[in-house]
Amino acid sequence: MTLVLVVLAVSAALIVGALWGLYGRLPAPLEGFLIALAGGALIVSVMEELIRPALDTLDFALLAACVAAGALAFTVADRWLQHSTEGNEGAGLLLAITFDGVPENLALGVALIGTSAPEVAALAGSILLSNLPEAAGGAKEMAEGGMARGKVLLLWSLTAALLAAAAILGNLALRDAGPAWLAAIRCLAAGAVTASLATEVFPKAFREDRFGTGIAIAAGLLTALALSQLSSG
C-alpha cells in the first residue's frame, strides 16, 4: 500500500503540472526556478538514498562502474532521442521527459523495497518537485504548438500511468533480488538521473531563469536535506 500511495502521488504531479501548464499561468522565470530547485533536491537524494547506501554492499570500484554505466546509457539514448525527434519539439519533449522519468521511478520503486515512505522521503519529494514544472512547461509548449488541450492532457496522463507502472513493476520484479543486485541497480539509476540533470534539467532551468538558477539549486539542496533529516528523525 505504501508503494502504491507514494508512486501515485509522484505520478499525479505530472497530471497536475499538465493542467497547470494548460489552464494556469506559468511565467518562464518561475518554471526555470522550480526546475532548478527540483534538480538541486535530486542531487542530494541521488547521493544519500541511492549511491551512499550502496557502499554497504558494493566495493567502490564496482559502485563507480555502475554509476558511470548508468550515465553513459542515458547520454547515448538521449543523443539518439534528440536526433530521432528533431523538428518535432512536442513529441521530443514528451519522449525526453518519459525517458528521464524511467530511471527516477525505477530508483523510487527499488528504494522502497524493504523500506517505508519516510525513509525515501527526499527522493520521492524531489521527483514530485521535478514532475510539476516539467509537465507544466511541456504541456504549455505542446498546446502552443497547435495540439488540442484534451489530447495534451491525455498524453501526459498516459505518461504518468506508464511511469507509475514502471516503478511498481520494478519494485515487485526486484523484490527477491539480492542486496548486491539491488545496490547495483540503484547505482545504475543514480548515474542515469545524474546525467539527465546535467544534460536536460539544469540547462533548461538556466535558459528560463538565468539569475535565479543558483539560488534555486541551493534551495533544492536544503529542501532534500531537510526531508532526509525528517525521515531519519
The pLDDT tens digits for 110-130 are 877 877 666 677 788 888 888
Q: Indicate the helix (H) or strand (E) that contains 186.
A: helix 179-196
Max Cα distance, the chain (Å): 52
Q: Where are the alpha helices (DSSP H) in 24-120?
A: 28-45, 60-84, 89-111
pLDDT tens digits in sequence order for the chain, 233 residues long: 677 778 888 888 889 999 998 998 878 888 889 889 988 988 988 898 889 989 999 999 999 999 999 999 888 888 887 777 665 555 566 666 777 777 778 888 887 787 766 667 778 888 888 888 888 888 888 888 788 899 889 988 988 988 888 888 878 887 888 889 889 988 998 998 899 888 888 888 898 888 889 999 999 999 888 877 765 55
Cell for 148?
488540442
The pTM for the full model equals 0.80
Cα distance between residue 155 and residue 152, in whole Å: 5
Cα distance between residue 188 and residue 191, in whole Å: 5
Cell for 185?
541497480
pLDDT of residue 105: 81
Q: 219, 227, 202, 13: which is closest to 120 by C-alpha?
A: 227
pLDDT of residue 231: 56
